[in-house]
Amino acid sequence: MLLTYSKTKNILPKIKMKNFFNPTSVAIVGATDTKGKIGNIILKNISRNNSIQIYPINQKHSQIGGVKAYATVLDIKNKVDLAIIAVPAKFVNQVVRECALKSMPIKDIVIISSGFSEEGEEGQKREEELKSLAKEYELNIVGPNCLGVINTTEKFNASFAGGDVSVGGVGLIMQSGALTTALLDLAAGGNFGFSLITTLGNKVVINENNLLDYYVKDNNTKIIALYLEDIADGKEFVKKLKETTRVKPVIVLKAGISKKAQVAIQSHTGAMAGDAAVTKEAIESNGGTYCKNFQEFVGVISLLNSSALPKNKKVVIVSNAGGPGVVTTDIIENESELELFEFSEKQQEKIIKNLPSQSSSKNPIDILGDAIEDRYLKTLKVLKTVKGIGSILVIVTPQAQTPIEKIVQVVVDMNQKSEIPIVPIFMGGLASQCAEKYLAKKGMSNFRFAYSAVRALEKAWKFSSREDVNESVIKNVEKSIDEDAIILKLEKENRKVFYYDEATKLGNKFNLNILKATYLIQNSSGYKGKYPVVLKLDCPNVLHKNVKNALFLNIKNEQDLEKKRQELEKSFPLERKLVQPMIEPGLEVIIGIKENKSFGHVLMVGLGGIFTELFDTKLLWILPSSEKDIRRKIENSLLGRVLKKQKIDVGVLVSEAQKVAKLSTHNPKIKELDVNPIMLYPDHGSIIVDIKILL
């Protein structure tokens, strides 16, 4: 294990978790001698630790596994640290109540049993009753509907996972028993090992936030990996994530982000800031490593477990075949944020000096198909002297003369001497298996495919290059009377959408420069301003005016204005119509707010107007966020490059984004907000052309 991190801070857990991972006594409710039953597997797994006092609970037997059995936990006179419940769901709550009513209550419980909220209305009622019991008796519960918990260093396996669990530095927090067993099986080949494993199940009490508190303090856990289908408390989660990633890497695979549940999305921001994008932002902006699929998840765990962190995003490829080198180059350049390192002429001369003349000393370095271990060794030794390389990918394809074991030894030895990761990609079937066997003995992992290696390396680089989150953020203050009055008016009218004049009035409280408008009451004579103008509908039920033909541009005189007003009146009688002056073209940008059910308000900035959903320039921040963080992300983005090309001060956009963020922070009842477009200019201030606010 080559990763090094700062010492663990004293982060005290709210729930004491010690009994779940290092108990001295365990009651197994549902224990049995019947082979294949979950209660039997759990009994055998726990029995491997001779220091733990086991109390089998089964009404039908007086002895199980050669140990005295009890009818109920109430019959145990001694103190019991932990109860494992593996009985049919209909009996679980009664058992939990008995644990609580025991003269020396069992406060810590793992419920393996399924048949709760995952199984319809009856199961949901059962789970609600279980929650009430936990609250009434102050019980700590893992599950229900889970695989169990494991502490490898203490040889404590309170799960029904079969076989030996590899010991190592990866702490797992998983909301899927099936994916957990898949990882255990993968690790059995020696790719990596585990310290603590918790399967969360339905999370009636203990969730990922409690476990992050415990895992960050565990000295045997070097990496924390989570698979989550839902996040119990998003705001608490990002807080814990920020604290934990200052000490240890946290890898997160979040499922359930592609649901078609965004039924009520009414604004551009709502459409652009989807759950997947927001979850990714929440995890990455707080130091976590976000994975979009199981393959990435396993790859990142493997790499962080066995290699040093990349020094930068510059990658060198060393290959004994041209094709794989070119393919890997394409993946880096087209599908990642990594970059190929560019060698100087002198550096290329050093490299080629040790290689056949037909070799390529450019990046990717092709050492030819007949290469044996000496070419890899000489090339890696030269690369060790080159400054500025962030990481090295070593590709090995199996030719007839390729000495796999000897090349593996070179990769292992050079990795131990190198400050940057040297990532092995032994391609093929038998060759890969041979390499993996030897790499595993040295605590290293092989990548059979370049894509997996590149994605894992990119994630590792992002973790190594993360910045501490600036703590100077917008603080919530008391709202003005005017702000409250506007919100109260909408609530009184049972209306969710602001009219333009109401949104303008609220925006002006936060110094947003919103384009003024004139409402047409009966005819166009009410407008006394300059032409050309824009005529548009102001109706809470019509948010996208282009789609409904409720927007007319470049109207040049009063006659044309009246004609268009009458057209609008036919389609939308009695609805409000407003006129605004046409303004000079500028760079159209959108600034928006969306309330996310897990993480709260999210700020979004991107290209605006008709380009809002055509070009993916959106940038997201979980609020509250600092001015420094907003500026940094904009400056390092495509949008930042557009601003620079248009000679527009990025500070103007940062300032406007902060104003919108402040507005939403002061008014938490806002669900969605669109400033779209806001016109930015190189030589004068910004103008907001349209604003939508939804409660």
pLDDT band at 598 (very low <50, low <70, confident <90, very high): confident
pLDDT at position 276 is 83
Q: Which two tokens stand for residue 538?
A: 């102001």
Q: pLDDT tens, 485-533?
A: 888 888 888 889 999 999 999 999 999 999 999 999 888 888 888 999 9
pLDDT at position 441 is 81
- Over 90: is that where the pLDDT of 653 sits? yes
CA 376 from chain centre, in angstroms, equals 37
CB atoms within 10 A of CB 573: 7
pLDDT band at 634 (very low <50, low <70, confident <90, very high): very high
**SS3 state of residue 242:** helix
pLDDT band at 574 (very low <50, low <70, confident <90, very high): confident
∠ Cα 538 521 677 (to 5°): 30
DSSP states of 166-217: PEEEEEEEES-HHHHHHHHHHHTTTS--EEEEEE-TT-SS--HHHHHHHHHH
- Over 90: is that where the pLDDT of 181 sits? yes
Which residues, at least 6 apart from 169, have a Cβ–Cβ distance to it below 8 Å?
Answer: 1, 192, 193, 195, 220, 221, 222, 223, 305
pLDDT at position 472 is 44
pLDDT at position 54 is 97
Reported pTM? 0.85
pLDDT at position 481 is 56
pLDDT at position 173 is 98
* pLDDT, mean over the chain: 89
DSSP states of 599-644: TEEEEEEEE-GGGTTTS---EEEESS-BHHHHHHHHHTSHHHHHHH
Min mean pLDDT across 198-207, 540-549, 638-647 is at 540-549
pLDDT at position 237 is 95
pLDDT at position 611 is 61
CB atoms within 10 A of CB 151: 23
* Domain 587-694 falls under CATH 1.10.287.3510: no
Burial of 509 (0-12, 13-18, 19+ CB in 10 A): middle
Q: pLDDT tens, 103-157?
A: 999 999 999 999 999 988 999 999 999 999 999 999 999 999 999 999 999 999 9
Options 2.40.50.100, 3.40.80.10, 3.30.1160.10, 3.30.1490.20; which CATH number does 516-582 get?
Answer: 3.30.1490.20
* Domain 18-255 falls under CATH 3.40.640.10: no
C-alpha count within 13 angstroms, C-beta hemisphere, residue 481 = 0
Q: Where are the beta strands (DSSP E) in 404-516?
A: 422-426
Task: Give the residue, 452 or 274, on which the prediction is more confident.
Answer: 452
pLDDT band at 207 (very low <50, low <70, confident <90, very high): very high
End-to-end CA distance of the chain: 51
Average pLDDT (541-558) is 84
pLDDT at position 615 is 66
- Over 50: is that where the pLDDT of 265 sits? no
pLDDT at position 650 is 95
pLDDT band at 547 (very low <50, low <70, confident <90, very high): low
- Over 50: is that where the pLDDT of 2 sits? no
How far, in Å, CA of 253 to CA of 293, rounded?
A: 7
Average pLDDT (631-657) is 93
**Cis peptide bond prior to 144, omega within 30° of 0:** yes
pLDDT at position 258 is 58
308-464 shares the fold of 18-255: yes
Count of residues in the chain: 695
pLDDT at position 92 is 98
pLDDT at position 301 is 93
Average pLDDT (210-226) is 96
Task: Give the residue, 617 or 14, on which the prediction is more confident.
Answer: 617
Which residues, at least 6 apart from 344, have a Cβ–Cβ distance to it below 8 Å?
Answer: none
Min mean pLDDT across 8-22, 195-209, 456-470 is at 8-22
Q: Are 341 and 461 in contact (CB under 8 A)?
A: no
pLDDT band at 266 (very low <50, low <70, confident <90, very high): very low
pLDDT at position 387 is 95
Domain boundaries, the chain: 18-255, 308-464, 516-582, 587-694
Q: Which two tokens stand for residue 396?
A: 């090995």
Min mean pLDDT across 2-16, 303-317, 525-539 is at 2-16
pLDDT at position 491 is 87
pLDDT band at 614 (very low <50, low <70, confident <90, very high): low
Q: pLDDT tens, 340-389?
A: 999 999 999 999 998 998 999 999 999 999 999 999 999 999 999 999 99
- Over 70: is that where the pLDDT of 102 sits? yes
Q: Which two tokens stand for residue 88?
A: 């049919």
Q: Which residues of 661-674 are buried (b: 16+ CB within 10 A; e: fewer)?
A: bbbbbbbeebbbbb
pLDDT at position 261 is 37
pLDDT at position 609 is 64
pLDDT at position 308 is 86
Q: Which two tokens stand for residue 342?
A: 């560019």
Average pLDDT (63-86) is 96
pLDDT at position 480 is 56
From the list 261, 280, 369, the residue with the least C-alpha distance to 322 is 369
Which residue is listed with tokens 């947003």? 512
Q: Are 446 and 436 in contact (CB under 8 A)?
A: yes
Return the percentage of the chain with pLDDT > 90, whole number: 70
How far, in Å, CA of 662 to CA of 669, rounded?
A: 13
Min mean pLDDT across 132-141, 259-268, 437-446, 533-542 is at 259-268
DSSP states of 293-345: SHHHHHHHHHHHHHSPPPSSSEEEEEESSHHHHHHHHHHHHHHSS-EE----H
- CA dihedral 535→539→544→545, nearest 10 degrees, is -20
Return the percentage of the chain with pLDDT > 70, whole number: 92
pLDDT at position 436 is 87
Residues pairing with 422 in the sheet: 392
pLDDT at position 482 is 65
- Over 50: is that where the pLDDT of 272 sits? no
Q: Are 609 and 642 in contact (CB under 8 A)?
A: no
pLDDT at position 104 is 97
Average pLDDT (2-23) is 63
Options 1.10.287.80, 3.40.50.261, 3.40.30.10, 3.30.465.10; which CATH number does 308-464 get?
Answer: 3.40.50.261
Q: Which two tokens stand for residue 669?
A: 């009842």
